[in-house]
Amino acid sequence: MTVQSQRARLLHSLHVRGDPLILFNIWDAGSARALQDIGAKAIATGSWSVAAAHGYEDGEKLPIDAVLANASRITASVDLPVTIDLEGGYGPDPKQVQASVTKVIQAGAVGINFEDQIVGGEGLHSIENQCERIKSVRATAQQASVPIFINARTDIFLKSDPAHHDASHLEEAIRRSAAYADSGASGFFAPGLRNAQAIKRLCEASAIPVNIMVLPEAPSHRELADLGVARISYGPLPYRQMIVALKEAGRKALALS
């Protein structure tokens, strides 16, 4: 078994309901190494942060070659499993997704975030279309003999006002979770979901580990663990916190000049 396959299996094992993996998302090799130094169990990029660090907007505006080069530097800098936010796979067609995932695996990553919103368009891919795309990712991983962790993200909750989240949104998420699991997804990511009872219901219904993102008004880590969450991520928050600190330090330095 290769080191990459071992790290992929380790990443899978770290997803435990009630004892969630905490991912404080990074954006480059330096931030990855900093997280390893303080005891992180795995490394995860956030697409928003990676794009911003390169001077681009999110939404696959950062060229895929830059994403891959960054991923290669990150995986070479740490001894931990690395999962890459691949957004929508850089192409709507399963063959385009396969090409992207092949290169991500070649870059040394052992997991991806893979979302169901139509990047650059409106709404979400249909369940059927997204399942075909997930199947293409799993087939690519099997061909490479690296059992990557496919964190299948749904944008149901980010696409709607939290004040208007209702039972229909939750039921749609549950349907997508089941379909994505059947298609080869390893986990189900529902960023934007903040209601504790809805999170609990999703965790109970999902056949695969559930990932929730830290947002204002979301439950605490302990509460999320008690609700059955297996993965907690921070998205763009760490990068934004770093930029605030950088600007504040810069203002103080410039004031002395």
Per-residue pLDDT of 22-71, as tens digits, reads: 999 999 999 999 999 999 999 999 999 999 999 999 999 999 999 999 99
Q: In this predicted structure, what is the pLDDT of residue 234?
A: 98
* pLDDT number for residue 66: 98
Query: Strands of 210-213's sheet, edge to edge?
Result: 21-23, 231-233, 210-213, 187-189, 149-153, 111-115, 82-85, 43-44
* Tokens matching residue 66: 């830059």
The Cα 212–Cα 195 span in angstroms is 11
DSSP helix/strand/coil, 206: coil
Pairwise CA distance, residues 187 & 209, whole Å: 5
Q: What is the pTM of this model?
A: 0.96
What's the pLDDT score for residue 257?
Answer: 64
CB atoms inside a 10 Å sphere around CB 197: 9
Please give the DSSP secondary-structure letter assigned to residue 50: H
Q: What is the DSSP string of 161-190?
A: -GGG--HHHHHHHHHHHHHHHHTT-SEEE-
Looking at residue 232, what is its pLDDT? Answer: 98
Strands (E), the chain: 21-23, 43-44, 82-85, 111-115, 149-153, 187-189, 210-213, 231-233
* Ranges of the chain with pLDDT below 70: 257
The first and second tokens of residue 119, run together, are 């990047």
Domains with residue ranges and CATH for the chain = 3-255 (3.20.20.60)
Residue 163 pLDDT: 78
Q: What is the pLDDT of residue 164?
A: 79
What is the token pair recorded at 54? 């390169």
Query: How far apart (Å, rounded) are the C-alpha atoms in residues 47 and 72?
Result: 15
Residue 159: per-residue pLDDT: 87
Burial of 206 (C-beta count, 10 Å sphere; 0-12/13-18/19+): buried
